[in-house]
């Protein structure tokens, strides 16, 4: 195995880097749930990308003669009140879930990390102002904040992603600021400054790059949170416009038929839970591998 990494040998730091990678693999894949989570995420991604090929039916095609069918060999998960195939809708729902997860987390991370970087780097009054703003933002319950923002912005997928992103950004700012405060004390920052690097260059090249490990953990876990919040919002009815498919709104639609067709409301929820669970577990796994305090113990 080591031979394959041969080109690395030219550099003196090659050896620790290899063992670092090995440790990563070992710690990451040691726990079954993490592997399980990775697999679920992979399957969801593949499903979302190839949804048109995988789905047995058009998810939006109504067929009132075949409405509310129980699961059978033609419709594995049955059909809803409009005769749409539940399995196909689930498969297309994966697209929405992942898209919202990715974009909302992207918005949250870029907004929060920028604020945290500026606050932590400059300190003083700027730090005070930004961190108090973040405190204020954090005081609002995320679901309530995203709900209000999403409705005020006018609903729809894009606005949901922005709303959820803003709701989640405060945590990034806080974690980022804490990390920057410790990273900026490093000698290489001083060295960069001595050699005449400007603030922007130091912030982007030297500090930002070294703040990524804790951020990666947060981003992974937030993918799950974003999907969960989107599901709750679409359950309340803010989500994407019909006939688009979101798992949350499938639960709402199916709720009316809970007594006779429990699968309609319960199956999409299982999908939400599985995906959120997977992101949480992979996030935990990443934390175990990236947290320097745990180095040496696992």
List residues binding another protein (CB under 8 A). 33, 132-133, 135-145, 147-149, 151-154, 224, 228, 231-232, 235-237, 248, 251, 255, 258-259, 262, 265-266, 268-269, 272-273, 276-277, 280-281, 293, 297
Name which of 145 and 286 has its Cβ closer to another protein. Answer: 145
Distance separating alpha carbons of residues 110 and 102, to the nearest angstrom: 12
Which one, 213 or 269, has the nearer CB to another protein? 269
41's enclosing H/E stretch is helix 32-49
Round to whole Å and give the CA distance between 241 and 227: 17
For residue 205, what are the contacts with CB-CB under 8 A and spacing of at least 6? 192, 197
Identity of the residue, 83 or 269, whose beta carbon is nearer to another protein in the bound complex: 269
Nearer to another protein, 147 or 211 (CB): 147
- Tracing tokens 């040998």 back to the chain, one arrives at 9
- Any idea what DSSP says for residue 101? H
* Distance of closest approach, residue 197 Cβ to another protein, in angstroms: 31
Nearer of residues 173 and 228 to another protein, judged by Cβ: 228
Cis peptide preceding 243, ω within 30 of 0 = yes
Q: How far is the CB of 224 from another protein (least distance, A)?
A: 7
Rg of the chain over all Cα atoms, to the nearest angstrom: 23
Q: How far is the CB of 14 from another protein (least distance, A)?
A: 32
Neighbouring C-beta atoms of residue 228, cutoff 10 Å = 22
Nearest partner of 47 among 103, 79, 87, 100, judged by Cα = 87
Please report how close the Cβ of residue 154 comes to another protein at its closest, in angstroms: 6
Minimum CB distance to another protein smaller for 137 or for 180: 137
Handedness of CA 165, 169, 170, 175 (dihedral sign): positive
Work out how close the CB of 243 gets to another protein at its nearest, in angstroms, rounded to a whole number: 20
For the CB of residue 122, give the shortest distance to another protein in the complex, in Å: 19
């Amino acid at each position: 195995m080591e031979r394959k990494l041969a080109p690395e040998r030219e550099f003196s730091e090659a050896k620790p880097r290899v063992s670092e990678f090995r440790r990563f693999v070992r710690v990451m894949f040691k726990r079954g749930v993490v592997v399980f989570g990775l697999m679920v995420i992979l399957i969801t991604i593949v499903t979302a990308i190839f949804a048109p090929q995988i789905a047995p039916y058009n998810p939006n095609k109504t067929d009132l003669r075949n409405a509310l069918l129980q699961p059978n060999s033609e419709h594995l998960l049955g059909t809803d009140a409009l005769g749409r195939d539940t399995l196909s809708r689930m498969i297309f729902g994966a697209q929405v879930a992942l898209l919202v997860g990715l974009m909302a987390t992207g918005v949250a991370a870029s907004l929060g990390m920028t604020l945290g970087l500026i606050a932590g780097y400059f300190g003083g009054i700027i730090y005070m102002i930004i961190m108090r703003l973040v405190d204020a933002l954090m005081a609002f319950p995320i679901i309530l904040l995203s709900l209000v923002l999403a409705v005020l912005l006018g609903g729809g997928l894009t606005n949901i992603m922005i709303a959820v992103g803003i709701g989640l950004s405060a945590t990034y700012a806080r974690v980022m600021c804490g990390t920057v405060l410790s990273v900026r004390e490093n000698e290489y920052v001083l060295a960069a400054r001595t050699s005449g690097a400007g603030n922007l260059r130091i912030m982007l090249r030297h500090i930002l790059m070294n703040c990524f490990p804790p951020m990666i953990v947060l981003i992974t876990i937030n993918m799950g949170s974003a999907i969960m919040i989107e599901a709750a919002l679409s359950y309340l009815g803010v989500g994407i416009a019909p006939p688009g498919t979101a798992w949350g709104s499938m639960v709402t639609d199916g709720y009316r038929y809970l007594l006779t067709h429990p699968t309609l409301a319960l199956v999409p929820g299982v999908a939400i839970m599985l995906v959120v669970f997977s992101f949480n577990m992979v996030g935990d796994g990443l934390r175990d591998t990236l947290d320097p305090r745990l180095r040496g113990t696992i």
